[in-house]
Amino acid sequence: MTKFSANLGFLWADLPLTDAIHAAKAAGFDAVECHWPYETLAEDVKAALDASGLVMLGLNTRRGNVDNGENGLSALPDRITDARAAIDEALHYAVAINAHAIHVMAGFAQGAAAHATFVANLRFACDAAAPHGIKILIEPLNRYDAAGYFLQTTDQAKDIIAEVAKPNIALMFDCYHVQLMEGDLTHRLTALLPIIGHIQFASVPDRGAPDWGETNYSYLFEIIARLGYRAPLGAEYKPKGPTEQTLAWLRNHPQ
């Protein structure tokens, strides 16, 4: 049976994070994940998770100065101190709420110096997270939503994961981003399964609910199950209207 996680960065984004956790449970999700939970006290999130019986699969490092257009810090050669502070902050929060993973955001950068910086910061993150059993994730983002983002393809991510060479680093395979940049989702999922730490999805090309668009998720969910992937799949889509009105795909999925 396929399990699903609600990404509370998009789903029930109009609710306080603690209320969104309970809403996800009521809707039938098996887990939750989030983007940047830092404005909510970790102990409050932990209490909501405990009360609901859900686990928090992951969270992101801060983007940096959003007003200046930053979208991650860890590949920026002149922001190493800030990047590692963001990693430490994310790790402290993840430990407090028993989150399983941290997505370390690369940011807008390019070139050899950015690559070396990202690798060094990822090694730092992996070493810090390892004693807590927390996984470090990296995620390619598509050029339409995040033009100039350092990490854009799964091939690039695969090479970085090999170079970092730590047992607790993995790929966040977001079907939406990968379809827009590379396509061929079934073959890529099959080939990359050994390094995948989390899978997310949304309709393509509009990033809406997964029951329409150019990607047949009913088929893809079956493929993922056949591959033996058993962790919850992350619903990271932008609802058009109230979240509850976009969950027909979840209610209709075979249980």
In angstroms, the CA 172 to CA 192 distance is 10
For the purposes of burial, counting CB atoms within 10 Å of the CB of 85, is it exposed (0-12), middle (13-18) or buried (19 or more)? middle
**Do β-strands 101-103 and 135-138 pair in parallel, antiparallel, or remain unpaired?**
parallel
Q: What are the C-alpha distances in Å from 138 to residues 122, 142, 171, 199, 217? A: 9, 13, 5, 12, 23
Q: Known catalytic residues?
A: 139, 236
Task: Judge contact between 239 and 247, C-beta under 8 A.
Answer: no
